Each structure stands twice: as structure tokens, then as C-alpha cells.
């Protein structure tokens, strides 16, 4: 009986070996996962000769996870001829030529010392960094038009290894065209993350593309340490100023919601943001009466939209001048800190360096705690 059972077991094993497809290598090997402390929107697993990159939440309520195989120097070409169908794309790394589509991607390239790989960008005038601006001025970075309609002819000429895109509510037609042209597109979802440090941790995403994980980890750890130390310092403040934010456009006042990263930084700066208890991560849309009744006596007014001066703010709507912060000249904005071509530095670097943002807010709201610190992004609105 035992012999009969053993024979059946052997036959079943042989039959299964013949009938089942060969198990993929990517499922048979245990890889080393990249350590992430805050970011939730991507993961990287290293399998030796290749890595698997997953983009899990490139835009709000995204339903698909994008998977990419990142092939290292000694990868098995024969194996990947069949294996690549399991991925959205297969990319050789380290990246030699890259196109990014948001100014928020520029700081990561520079911090990792790979800015020389940037060959194209849509809207180069928006870039503020001196280092990349010099490359643009020396015709080393090509203008690609607008994000909604990237010049694919120029892009194909550049022979970029990858395009780093972003989507607001899904992939756009331009990126679909680029992918059909044979150029991989990876969506960067740093802006969807739920905390300032989670957004900053996306430097590790770029570290994976350039085989610079150690460098990316070291950079992020410095940013994290600076941020947490500043947050701890802010707890020593003896006062907690009330904060108003945003401004009116077409009779609607837009300001950060209570769970937004902007509101979180204001909390970490030990301030009383007047809408800190509102639900949601995006923007609130309120009428003037509701804002004025709650914030007419706010101590400080931060980020009054894109108005470059108090006069511009008043010209846009005379109601802006009714607030105490306006009358006391306690309005601060990052809109006037720009590069040579007019690009706003905060929009470029703010996501990567939340420690700078937090220290700015502490200096504005609790100047006694950072006496020797000079504002980096924010300046008084004149």
C-alpha cells in the first residue's frame, strides 16, 4: 500500500512538472526591499541583477499598480525576452538620459549629482536652480513644450532612457503616445503622499533608478533629522499665533484643508492654523464671509495665493485689506523667491526640503527660537 502511494505521489509530481509552466525567477527568489519610513506610493525590491519598482498610488484613487523591471549591468538578456511581458516596462539602469516633467523632480537629480543626465524638460523657464539653469543656458537641456502636449519629435531625438511623468487624475494622452514610441514612462506620485517627510522620501525613488540608494538614504536621513529637530524646537515656543492662509479668486477663498501637508507643517511649527480641524487633504473652498468671521484677527497671513504685493492683493479684492494681518504687515509669501527666469523656488524645492519650509515657518511665527536663521523661501509681502 505504501509503495502504491509512493508511486502515485511520484507520478503526480512528474505530471505537474510537465504540465505547469516554469516558475518565474522573480517569484522564486527573495529580494531585499528598500527601506521606506514614510512614503507609501512606491516600493523597490532588489534581486541582485535586477530590481522591481512598483508605483502604487500615482494619483488619488488610482486603481492600478505599475510595475517596472530595472535591469542592472549583468542581467540575463535571454531570460528577460520572455519575462518582460509581466511588467509595464523593462528599463536598463543606471539611467544615462532622463526627461522629467515637474520642477519638483529637479532637486533630487541635483542632490544625487546626476543632473547631467537630464536632457529635456517641458517648460524650462519654470526651473529655478542655478545648476540646472546653467545646463539649460548651454543648450544641454532641450525645451519640450508643455506637459499637456510634449513635443514627441524632439523627445525621440533625445533618445531618453525614461520619462518621469505625473498624473492628476490618470494618465494623459501625451504619455500614452510616448510609451507607444518605445520610451518608458514612470509616474511619480510624490505629491499624493500624506506627510511632508513622505513626499521628501521620494528621493529614494530616483536613487533606485541611478543605483544610488546609499546616497539617497543619507540625504533623506539628513532632511528627516533636520525636520524632526526643528519640530522639537518649535515646542519650546511660549505663544501659538493664529494663522490664515490662501486668498480669494472669483469670490471663492481657497485655503489648505486640515489634513493637508501644508496644515501638518503649520502644526509641526506649533501654530494655530484656524482650519486645522477641517477634514480632507486638498483645498477648502469658502466664501469671504466665512473666512472673515473666523480669521479677521489672525496674527499671521501665509501664502496669499500668487499675489506678489499687498497692493496686488488689495487690487484683486478690496476685502483682503480688512484683515488685521494685512493692516499689521504680517503677510508672508514664497511667490517672490524666484530663479533668473521667474520660476518659483518653493514650487521646485519645497517638496524635497520640508526642513527648510518648517524652519521658515518657525522663524516667522517664533523668531526668538531661530535668531540667526535667514528665511529661505518665504519673505514678507511688501
Residue-level pLDDT at 10: 36
Residue-level pLDDT at 148: 73
| Separation between Cα atoms, residue 53 and residue 66, nearest integer Å | 8
Cβ partners under 8 Å of residue 169, min gap 6 = 59, 60
Superfamily of domain covering 237-380: Nitrogenase molybdenum iron protein domain (3.40.50.1980)
Residue-level pLDDT at 28: 52
Residue-level pLDDT at 84: 84
| Separation between Cα atoms, residue 329 and residue 176, nearest integer Å | 48
Cβ partners under 8 Å of residue 153, min gap 6 = none
Residue-level pLDDT at 280: 86
Topology agreement, domain 25-223 and domain 237-380: yes
CA 317 to chain centre: 33
Residue-level pLDDT at 282: 85
* Spans of all domains in the chain: 25-223, 237-380
Residue-level pLDDT at 78: 81
305, HSE (Cβ side, Cα atoms, 13 Å): 18
The three-class DSSP label of residue 138 is: coil
Residue of 168, 147, 164 lying closest to 202 (CA atoms): 164
DSSP character string of 344-366: BHHHHHTTT-HHHHHHHHHHHH-
Buried b (16+ CB within 10 A) or exposed e, 356-365: bbbbbbbbbb
Q: What is the Cα Rg of the chain in Å?
A: 25
Q: What is the CATH number of domain 25-223?
A: 3.40.50.1980
pTM: 0.90
Mean pLDDT by 10 residues, the chain (382 residues): 39 38 52 96 96 95 94 86 90 97 97 98 94 96 87 93 89 86 95 96 98 98 98 97 95 95 97 95 93 97 96 95 97 95 94 98 98 96 90
Residue-level pLDDT at 90: 95
Q: How many CB atoms lie within 10 A of CB 366?
A: 20
Q: How are beta strands 242-245 and 185-187 bridged, if at all?
A: unpaired
Dihedral angle sign, alpha carbons of residues 167, 172, 175, 180: positive
Residue where the block lists cell 505629491:
191
Amino acid at each position: 500500500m505504501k509503495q502504491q502511494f509512493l508511486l502515485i505521489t511520484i507520478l503526480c509530481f512528474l505530471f505537474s512538472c510537465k504540465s505547469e509552466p516554469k516558475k518565474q525567477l522573480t517569484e522564486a527568489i527573495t529580494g531585499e526591499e528598500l527601506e521606506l519610513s514614510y512614503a507609501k506610493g512606491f516600493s523597490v525590491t532588489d534581486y541582485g541583477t535586477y530590481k522591481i519598482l512598483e508605483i502604487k498610488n500615482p494619483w488619488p484613487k488610482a486603481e492600478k499598480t505599475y510595475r517596472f523591471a530595472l535591469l542592472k549591468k549583468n542581467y540575463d538578456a535571454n531570460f528577460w525576452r520572455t519575462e518582460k511581458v509581466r511588467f509595464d516596462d523593462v528599463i536598463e539602469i543606471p539611467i544615462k538620459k532622463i526627461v522629467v516633467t515637474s520642477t519638483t523632480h529637479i532637486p533630487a537629480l541635483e542632490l544625487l549629482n546626476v543632473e547631467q543626465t537630464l536632457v529635456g524638460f517641458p517648460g524650462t523657464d519654470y526651473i529655478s536652480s542655478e545648476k540646472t539653469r546653467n545646463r539649460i543656458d548651454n543648450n544641454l537641456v532641450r525645451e519640450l513644450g508643455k506637459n499637456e502636449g510634449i513635443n514627441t519629435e524632439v523627445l525621440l531625438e533625445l533618445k531618453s532612457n525614461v520619462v518621469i511623468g505625473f498624473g492628476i487624475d490618470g494618465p494623459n494622452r501625451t504619455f500614452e503616445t510616448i510609451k507607444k514610441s518605445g520610451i518608458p514612462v514612470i509616474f511619480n506620485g510624490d505629491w499624493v503622499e500624506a506627510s511632508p517627510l513622505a513626499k521628501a522620501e521620494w528621493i529614494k525613488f530616483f536613487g533606485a533608478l541611478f543605483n544610488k540608494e546609499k546616497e539617497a538614504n543619507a540625504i533623506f536621513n539628513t532632511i528627516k533629522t533636520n525636520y524632526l529637530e526643528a519640530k522639537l524646537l518649535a515646542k519650546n515656543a511660549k505663544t501659538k499665533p493664529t494663522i490664515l492662509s490662501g486668498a480669494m479668486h472669483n469670490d471663492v477663498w481657497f485655503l489648505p484643508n486640515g489634513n493637508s501637508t501644508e496644515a501638518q507643517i503649520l502644526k509641526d511649527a506649533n501654530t494655530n492654523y484656524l482650519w486645522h480641524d477641517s477634514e480632507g487633504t486638498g483645498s477648502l473652498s469658502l466664501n469671504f464671509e466665512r473666512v472673515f468671521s473666523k480669521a479677521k484677527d489672525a496674527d499671521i497671513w501665509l501664502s496669499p495665493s500668487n499675489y506678489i504685493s499687498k497692493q496686488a492683493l488689495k487690487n484683486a479684492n478690496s476685502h483682503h485689506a480688512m484683515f488685521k494681518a494685512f493692516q499689521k504687515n504680517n503677510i508672508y509669501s514664497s511667490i517672490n523667491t524666484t530663479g533668473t527666469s521667474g520660476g518659483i523656488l518653493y514650487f521646485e524645492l519645497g517638496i524635497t526640503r520640508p526642513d527648510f519650509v518648517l524652519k521658515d515657518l518657525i522663524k516667522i511665527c517664533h523668531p526668538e527660537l531661530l535668531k540667526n536663521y535667514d528665511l529661505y523661501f518665504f519673505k514678507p509681502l511688501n
